Structure 1
């Protein structure tokens, strides 16, 4: 009985520490509980989530597996293992765990979201759509669900529908810079270049170091044949992220041409020095 009371105190203390973000300390408390009572699946699961917060995903997986071994019907452990696998980039392996979670608890909006994200990362956008739709049904104010729903629609070529979805995202969360950037990309695909530039400007107001927005703005100016402006924003994008932005520019005919001109100009300056 005394063991049980001590375990309850350690468990409660661990949960308080977890809630405060003191994950190492929380794990130490959970370990004390498990040492006394190794069949407490909730503790194994909370321990797994604390390890996830510390990005110790392999250890987290082992902890969730212990929880599942004790109680195969505990949905949070299945979900936790799926999250850890996804964090390791193992999206295909994560999917069965999200699916098992949803069989046990079909109202778990986080599991729906994570299943959709895994499918999107596997470029299975058509399958991802109903997952994000379900999240939106359960939590209509989830701006990340609207954003990822928009991205899946975009990659399927449904630009007007993608625009409507991202409008919801920026209405709910006006400070989400990457949603404004995504909105601009959709508008540029719809050949609404000036509207796209306004959207990129909003992204840059929120995050001046958003190299993706700078690159996209450069592309819009290149499409408008505004070479000086395009060169300016392309230079700024490459200064922030040289490898990525050069690769993107080389994949785009207009910006590749502009990039070659920039390189020639740089070589000329270096020769003069």
Structure 2
């Protein structure tokens, strides 16, 4: 039996810790040592657990349970060969001890031999009546092998043996979702709820499945029952808020998000959603207040900075939008979305050099969307950076071969610097791929489009 410092029955623990301070060795029976070790392992106090194991084995050198704790520590420390050797010794002494098989499976699992771990755990099943933990361990090993059907079956066995094993329920739903079996998940959850009608976790998961399938009214009903089952269930209020947003019932969504702020510490997610709902109902002052609270609560949440930047951007407050996106970039300079917004806002403010720098940074960070290449290249043309613009579009065409929008731009640039062979090549390519984009030449390169050679090529090929 375990204990803590709050227990009335914690004398062995107090005595043990007193012994460590005084270096005066006291006697404990093996079961007391087991409880002490178990307590320290649960607390994550590995060094103290190791001391208890050593002292325990000094006093009880034949205790198999204490030696099994030693195996557990060796496995934790990745001393797998030493752990395996000790297990083999113990097996010869007590071959019917299921804990030996569990630790053996743990070693196989650590070595990524999950199939062998499953075989060993199935042997352990034959040696015990306490099967729930073993079912769970087998289910996890199947998850490691990406065998979701088998994993699901074992987690279901866990739940059949203990209907309050919510970790098993979550794992079952995870398997259903990975297999895209949302309808099957709904059937399973409804069956489970028939037997356990006040299980808030099951109602919550049912609502999430309906939400995935965009059956928002059914999802809302499920979340309602989750809240009825537990009116302090923060996750259910959050999901209910999300669902009400989908149903465009923004005022009710706000009420649910506000409840979560009362039940628990404010989360940046809830604050952000409240801001979004207020924006949807044209309550811009409150929307801005909650967006401000979002970035204050969690400066690393990119969605918060994006929301407040887009809020100002949508209302033409470009300087204010730029102020916030600069703050965001100062916090996380590797965020692609920040740099895209930075470029767009600078572009609208006619800060072309800054906008071009932003697009270049976006590309450097691996965002190779066509629009990024085109926007950057067009700015380089505007800035008179012809060679850099050519290099930009030559890189772009490697990602988007036979793209007329790129080819017309390269044609215009090469004609502009009088490299007529290359200009002709790209112009013919552009015309063969999409004649409708031929206006790009006139729009971006009016002088080039007036050249007789270019006019003739256009006449011949249009």
Shorter-normalised TM range: 0.7 to 0.9
Q: Could you give the per-residue CA deviations for residues 196-235 of structure 1, whole angstroms, max 9, x where no partner exists? A: 2232234345263433x34433342243233454455467
Relative CO higher for 1 or 2, CA cutoff 8 Å, sep ≥ 6?
1
Q: Could you give the per-residue CA deviations for residues 16-42 of structure 1, whole angstroms, max 9, x where no partner exists? A: x69xx99969745433345xx47x543
- Which of 300, 310, 331 is matched with 1:185 structurally? 310
- Which of 200, 210, 223 is matched with 2:336 structurally? 210
- Is structure 2 residue 170 aligned with structure 1 residue 42? no
Deviates more, 1:228-237 or 1:218-227: 228-237
Cα pair distance change 1:155/1:234, threshold 3 Å: farther
Q: Is the 8 A contact 1:116 1:132 kept in 2?
A: yes
Give runs of aligned pairs for residues 150-161 of structure 1, distance below 5 A: 150-161=275-286
Q: Where does the alignment leave 5 or more consecutive residues of structure 2 unmatched?
A: 1-125, 383-388, 390-403, 415-421, 423-462
What TM-score, normalized by structure 2, do the two folds share?
Answer: 0.46
1:142 and 1:103 map into 2 onto residues whose CA distance is 23
Cα pair distance change 1:101/1:156, threshold 3 Å: same
Cα pair distance change 1:94/1:266, threshold 3 Å: same
Q: Could you give the per-residue CA deviations for residues 79-104 of structure 1, whole angstroms, max 9, x where no partner exists? A: 11112222344433311111111122
Q: Is the 8 A contact 1:47 1:63 kept in 2?
A: no
Task: Give the drift of 1:176.
Answer: 0.9
- Is structure 2 residue 218 aligned with structure 1 residue 93? yes
Q: Could you give the per-residue CA deviations for residues 109-163 of structure 1, whole angstroms, max 9, x where no partner exists? A: 1100011112223443233111111111212331111111111112222222112
- Determine which structure has the larger helix proportion and give its number: 1
- Is structure 2 residue 241 aligned with structure 1 residue 116? yes
- Is structure 2 residue 324 aligned with structure 1 residue 199? yes
Structure 2 counterpart of 1:254: none
Structure 1 counterpart of 2:173: 52
Give runs of aligned pairs for residues 239-258 of structure 1, distance below 5 A: 240=367, 242=369
Report the secondary structure of 1:267's partner residue: helix
Q: CA RMSD in A?
A: 4.1
- Give aligned pairs, total: 254
- Which of 128, 132, 135 is matched with 2:260 structurally? 135
What TM-score, normalized by structure 1, do the two folds share?
Answer: 0.72
- Is structure 2 residue 191 aligned with structure 1 residue 66? yes
Report the secondary structure of 2:130's partner residue: helix
Cα pair distance change 1:138/1:190, threshold 3 Å: farther
Cα pair distance change 1:115/1:206, threshold 3 Å: same
Q: Could you give the per-residue CA deviations for residues 51-105 of structure 1, whole angstroms, max 9, x where no partner exists? A: 3334335243333222201121222111111122223444333111111111222
The structure number with the bigger radius of gyration is 2
2:167 and 2:189 map into 1 onto residues whose CA distance is 9
Task: Give the drift of 1:190.
Answer: 5.3
Cα pair distance change 1:46/1:164, threshold 3 Å: same
Q: Where does the alignment leave 5 or more consecutive residues of structure 1 unmatched?
A: 250-256
Q: Could you give the per-residue CA deviations for residues 252-272 of structure 1, whole angstroms, max 9, x where no partner exists? A: xxxxx99xx999786232353
Deviates more, 1:54-63 or 1:128-137: 54-63
1:264 and 1:10 map into 2 onto residues whose CA distance is 61
Report the secondary structure of 1:83's partner residue: helix
Cα pair distance change 1:149/1:158, threshold 3 Å: same
